Amino acid sequence: MHAEQLKEYLNTAIAIAKELSADSAFAADDKLGNGADCVTEVDRYIEKTVFSRLHEIYPTHKLVGEETATERGNEYKATNDPTWIVDPVDGTNNVVHHFQYTGISIGLAINKKPAVGVVYLPILDELYTAARSQGAFMNSQPPPIIRPPVLTTPTSLAECSMVCEHHSDRSEKAVGSRLASFTRLLLDKKRGGGCIQNLRILGAACPNITLVAKDVAEFFWDIGPHAWGFAAAVIILTESGGAVFACAGWWGSSIPESERTLKPHNIWNRRLIAVRFTPNLPRNPGSGRELQKQLAEDVLEIVEDIPYPLDGIH
């Protein structure tokens, strides 16, 4: 895919996101669904409008969105074709509770890999954008917001801040599994924990990942989000120097320790761990990338898996 073509896709997504954010103003007074997973008319309106615009401009591209996928029982065909993946309001619960971390997320996957991402948080007026091999930007400035030599190089979980989610799956098994993982992440090292410095739950995956991209948190761990909840943000993170890996926790797993290795993230896999840009240690080229992997492995050793199926039909 030529750089100029990707830039065109990116500019299209930016224009749509900003126009619709201004149009809807994210002012929703209608809360539907259960208490854990609500939807508003704004969600439906934005997704319908985004899809209409994209189909008009790129009639051969595939379209996947939260509202339409839910209506179809998540049974859509995942292909290598250019596929726009849209969360019309990432953080709907935040909107109805007047919490500022919410926005429009528009991602484009090509050959099932993130190629373009736009996350616009209108209340904060933060626009995150990225295209493959063209860098990432926050309001036209490259993240992270703090750069070396000030930006630290964490070497253990005890030096890290984490963002995550609890999700709308409130079954006893899912809630118990997440709480157990959170407990081990927070426990001090003498008790077998990661002793992370803090754990934040903000209610929206894409805004969470943008916090990692701009170095407000060291990593994001999640099991259960759908592709539209992170597709746009992961390209923003990787283009800022971060790393994203597949994430099925190893705690309690029958996988032998010798076979516990990080795997590349699959856009349709509802498990991921995202690690921020990490500077190299002094006189040690490449150590930043190795530390990203080490932090991800340290997390996977103490969190457990929840076996959610892949998004779409493969």
pLDDT at 32 over 90: no
pLDDT in tens, 103-139: 899 999 999 999 999 999 998 999 999 999 999 999 9
Where do the structural domains in the chain lie, given as residue ranges?
Answer: 3-138, 157-302
Question: pLDDT by residue (tens digit) across 145-170?
Answer: 888 888 989 999 999 999 999 888 88
183/294 Cα distance (integer angstroms): 20
Please tell me the pTM assigned to this model.
Answer: 0.92
Residue 44 identity: R
CATH C-level class of 3-138: alpha beta
Contact criterion met (CB below 8 Å) for 20 and 89: no
Among candidate residues 148, 150, 152, 129, the one with its CA nearest the CA of residue 239: 129
- 10/14 Cα distance (integer angstroms): 6
Percent of the chain whose predicted confidence (pLDDT) is above 90? 72
Distance of alpha carbon 38 from alpha carbon 97, whole angstroms:
11
Which DSSP string corresponds to 259-288?
Answer: G----BPPTT-SEEEEE---PPBTTBTTHH
**pLDDT of res. 95:** 79
Q: Cβ-count burial of 233 within 10 angstroms (0-12 exposed, 13-18 middle, 19+ buried)?
A: buried
pLDDT at 187 over 90: yes
Is the CATH number 3.40.50.1110 carried by domain 157-302? no
Query: Which pLDDT belongs to residue 40?
Result: 65
pLDDT of residue 179: 95
